[in-house]
Structure 1
Amino acid sequence: MDSRFLGIPEIVDVPSVAVVVDVMRACTVAAWAFAQGAEKIVLAESLEDALALKGRHPDWVALKDGPPAPGFDAVNSPGLLRSVDLTGRTVVQKTTAGTVGALAVKEASLVLCAGFVVAEATARLLRTRECASVTFVVTGEDGRADEDLACAQYIAGRAVEAGTDADEFLRRAAASRAAAELTEGVREGAHPEDVALCLELDRFPFAMVAAPEDSLMVLRPCAVPAIPV
């Protein structure tokens, strides 16, 4: 499998297969939303679009980066979201990097969103689809966020070699700027356990696939069968 790792500004063509990685915290939050029962996640282009969608669908759950804000029901924190019952609900998500990255590659034939919590399922899906070329979108810090790059490199490794060990990749993520900012309380709308939750390897057994639905980019969980050893 040929892998390339690009920041959002570096995406100039439409990849065949894209894996959008935002470890801290959009993709981790998305996985937790599905674990809490959400049916789907609509990826909003802007805060205004998110609020407009919420206005048209009052039962949807609107979620954003940063502190709580009028019109939004939740913030982009796995530690805060894990206690919310989302059974059967639609979530509208707008974040600084993760949703932007997914929308940047929305025309790809396959778009996956990933973090460490769904790493193995994502790698397994790439293997079962026999993807020859994959673009990993490293969403944080214009492609320089080491937690996202480490996760992307780990998934790429697992997709071609099941024996790839996670320890060094997790250490890099734990030492990243984003982890430090979350730990030190620099980022608003955070929970003390957010970093630990973002670094839980393979917490969930599903991959997450984004695809256009009725002019919206919609993320859904995707069960991935285990590959016999």
Structure 2
Amino acid sequence: MEARCLGIAELTQVPSVAVVIDVMRAFTVAAWAFARGAERIVLAESLEEVLALRARHPDWVAIKDGPPAPGFDTVNSPGMVRSMDLCGRTVVQKTTAGTVGALAVKEASLVLCAGFVVAEATARLLRARACDTVTFVVTGEDGRAEEDLACARYIALRATEAAGTAEGSGQAAAFLRRAAGSRAAGELATGVRKGVHPDDVALCLELDRFPFAMVADWDGARMTLRPVSP
């Protein structure tokens, strides 16, 4: 498998297969939302779109980056989402980097959204689909976020190995250390970023917490994320 890592601004053409990485915190949050029972996640282009959808669908759950705000049910924090009952609910999510990256590759034939919590399932799906060329969209810090680069390279490594190998946890240690030392991890730990739970960094660095991958589909109007068993 040929893998390349690009920032959002570096996407000059539509990739065939894209894996959009946002470890801290959009796609860790998305994975927790599915674990808490969410049926689907709509990835919105703007906060205004989130509020408009929430007004039309009062039972939908609205999530945003930053501090709490009127009209939103919670913020982009896995530590907060993990305590919510989302059984059968639709979630609408808008973040600074992750949702932007997914929408940037909406016309790709296959779009996966990932973080460390779904790394092995994502790699297994790439192996199952026999993907020859994969573009990893590194959403944080204009494509330079250490945690996203580490996750992308770890998934790429696992995707090229034979299914069923048991070396993932040992291989992951260096990648997780790199992510733990990232700027994003420091900002979350020290409260620079708003809307943070004390457990957020640890939750973002949990390897393979969930057994599903997350596939995003564009229907011409909305980008919708769903869990898929590889």
Q: In structure 2, what is the equivalent of residue 7 of structure 1?
A: 7
Please state if 1:223 is matched with 2:205: no
- Percent identity over the alignment is 77
User: What's the CA shift for 1:215?
Assistant: 1.5
CA distance in 1, matches of 2:45, 2:205: 27
User: What's the CA shift for 1:214?
Assistant: 5.9
User: What's the CA shift for 1:213?
Assistant: 3.2
For 1:80-95, what aligned pairs fall within 5 Å after superposition? 80-95=80-95
2:191 to 182, 185, 200: 185
Which amino acid is 2:40 matched to?
A: K
For 1:147-158, what aligned pairs fall within 5 Å after superposition? 147-158=147-158
Which amino acid is 1:87 matched to?
A: C
2:181 to 175, 181, 186: 175
User: What's the CA shift for 1:11?
Assistant: 0.5
SS of equivalent residue, structure 1 residue 14 = coil
For 1:137-152, what aligned pairs fall within 5 Å after superposition? 137-152=137-152
For the aligned residue pairs, the C-alpha RMSD in angstroms reads 0.8
For 1:56-75, what aligned pairs fall within 5 Å after superposition? 56-75=56-75
For normalisation by structure 2, the TM-score amounts to 0.96
Q: In structure 2, what is the equivalent of residue 227 of structure 1?
A: none
> Structure 1: any 5+ residue segments left out of the alignment?
225-229
CA distance in 1, matches of 2:119, 2:185: 18
CA distance in 2, matches of 1:50, 1:186: 25
Which amino acid is 2:182 matched to?
A: S
CA distance in 2, matches of 1:92, 1:28: 15
CA distance in 2, matches of 1:118, 1:49: 27
* CA deviations over 1:45-83 (Å, ceiling 9, x no partner): 000111111111111000000000011111000001100
User: What's the CA shift for 1:121?
Assistant: 0.1
Which amino acid is 1:201 matched to?
A: L
User: What's the CA shift for 1:14?
Assistant: 0.3
* CA deviations over 1:175-200 (Å, ceiling 9, x no partner): 00000000001110000000000000
Q: In structure 2, what is the equivalent of residue 132 of structure 1?
A: 132
CA distance in 1, matches of 2:219, 2:203: 30
CA distance in 1, matches of 2:127, 2:229: 14
Please state if 1:208 is matched with 2:214: yes
Which stretch shifts more, 146-155 or 211-220?
211-220
Q: In structure 2, what is the equivalent of residue 114 of structure 1?
A: 114
Q: How many residues align?
A: 224
CA distance in 1, matches of 2:122, 2:134: 12
SS of equivalent residue, structure 1 residue 86 = coil
CA distance in 2, matches of 1:109, 1:214: 14
Which amino acid is 2:216 matched to?
A: A
* CA deviations over 1:4-63 (Å, ceiling 9, x no partner): 100000011000000000000000000000000000000000001111111111110000
Runs of 4+ in 1 over 3 A off after TM superposition: none
User: What's the CA shift for 1:212?
Assistant: 1.6
CA distance in 2, matches of 1:88, 1:130: 32
Q: In structure 1, what is the equivalent of residue 29 of structure 2?
A: 29
SS of equivalent residue, structure 2 residue 224 = strand
Which stretch shifts more, 48-57 or 29-38?
48-57
